[in-house]
Amino acid sequence: MDYRSSNFQKLRKTPPRRPHFLARFVLVSSVVAAAYVALFWYNYLYATPVELYHRVWQAARDNYFDKTTLKNWDRFEHRYDKLIKTNDDAIVYANKMLSTFADPFSALHSPTEMQQFAESQAERFVGLGVSLATVTLGTASTKYLAVVEVMPGSPARKAGIKPGDTIISIDGKESADMTVSELKSIAAERENQSTDVIVQRGKRKVRVTLVPAVVERTNVELMPSQPNVAVIAVRDFLKKNTADRVMKVLERTAHRQAIVLDMRDNPGGSVDECLRLASAFLDEGQLVTLNIRTPGAAHHREIYSLKPDGIEISVMDDDGKIERTRKQQRLRPIAARRPLIVLINGGSASATEMFSAALQDNQRARIVGTRSYGKGIAQAGLAMPNGTTLNLTCVHYYTPGGRFIGMGQGGSEIERERKNEGIKPDVAIRNNTGETAEPADAQRQRALELLADCR
């Protein structure tokens, strides 16, 4: 045979064809894989109401911190199946099941509730631009809202409202026993409209007219103060860049000789953010110990220690054996040498207490104010089907000195003190609550007095 024939040459130049079955196999496999992934995410994100309830039951069984409360958990698995027809039913009965924990922080939240929470944390909102506290005027038992702080550039600041003013009425509505939420709703409804507000200022009533408008709020703010003291308000640890925001303020005020961190009414937030912030004020030291429920198993501990090159986390099993270690970035200890006071009160909770205790136990700061809320537990936010979110307590934490500061039940300051819950201040002082002619921020004033040598 002549291998140089024209027919052979044509055959050599023609690319070999892949068998049809291989192409079909690849195509079919890709389609099946894509369908499987789509089905997985569909089943993960969407479920019938009964399936949603069962997912919550299983997640609680596998993740809730206190396993002793789960001893008879099987009794709830199908208890409400016949009563659940809608997503709302599933949420109601899931929360009825979770209520047996006697833990107000473990609950299933609807998409609407999660949206409302996100909106409440927005940095832009319509309102007066004030921080408020509940006070009692004179000897009466009626509660009113007193202005603690007036935000710079806010409608309240422009109208001349001052810290210490007590709101008697707004838009003609008496504010006796009015909640903060109710006042905010009235202000939002009056956007861009002249609104009369009557305040008690000392012994006299003063009428001011303001226009509720969009207010820009930040969770970190440098407050007016004495030239040599930086007073920094940290309102929450909910945003991932909170520590970086404080760091920028510390850099801007590096020339000031002392610092007051105002963390009153700070509800907490991210553990990582509060510990990163602590690293700006400490060179080294233990920060916190977390006791964490291992999903589907027992517990493990994570000890957070501050080192020169980062935050070291030692992960230990239930027997105290170190299984592994890891590192997280720390901040530069830009404020490790400056005198420091942290202001707290009964509204300071969770990550705020973790931060305060880390500085207190390491003898780095003096704590001034009233006993904090007492929430030594933390929750995981677990995504559930149909847009719901399950908040579930899965962590207890202990201060560097080994203190567990409470289950977050709150109560009066006397009750918290009796149960030894919350962070006890080094300098205990209450703010005036309307008994005097003009309420003043006695806690902040005391902090500045303690830093008098730094003026």
Q: Which residues contact 184 (CB under 8 A, 6 or more apart)?
A: 127
The CATH 2.30.42.10 portion of the chain extends over 124-216
Give residue-wise pLDDT tens across range 265-309.
888 999 999 999 999 999 999 999 999 999 999 999 999 999 999
Report the C-alpha gap between 360 and 402 in whole angstroms.
Answer: 12
CATH topology of domain 124-216: Pdz3 Domain (2.30.42)
- The number of residues in the chain equals 455
Shortest CA distance to 215 belongs to which of 298, 131, 335, 100? 131
Angle, helices 271-278/242-252, rounded to nearest 10 degrees: 20
pLDDT at 334 over 60: yes
- Where is average pLDDT lowest: 19-23, 42-46, 106-110, 231-235? 19-23
Give residue-wise pLDDT tens across range 26-76.
555 555 555 544 444 455 578 999 999 999 999 999 999 999 999 999 999
Burial 50-65 (b: 16+ CB within 10 A, else e): bebbbbbbebbebbbb
CATH topology of domain 220-454: 2-enoyl-CoA Hydratase; Chain A, domain 1 (3.90.226)
Place of tokens 């422009």: 158
Shortest CA distance to 90 belongs to which of 423, 411, 386? 386
The CATH 3.90.226.10 portion of the chain extends over 220-454
Global pTM reads 0.75
Report the C-alpha gap between 148 and 431 in whole angstroms.
Answer: 10
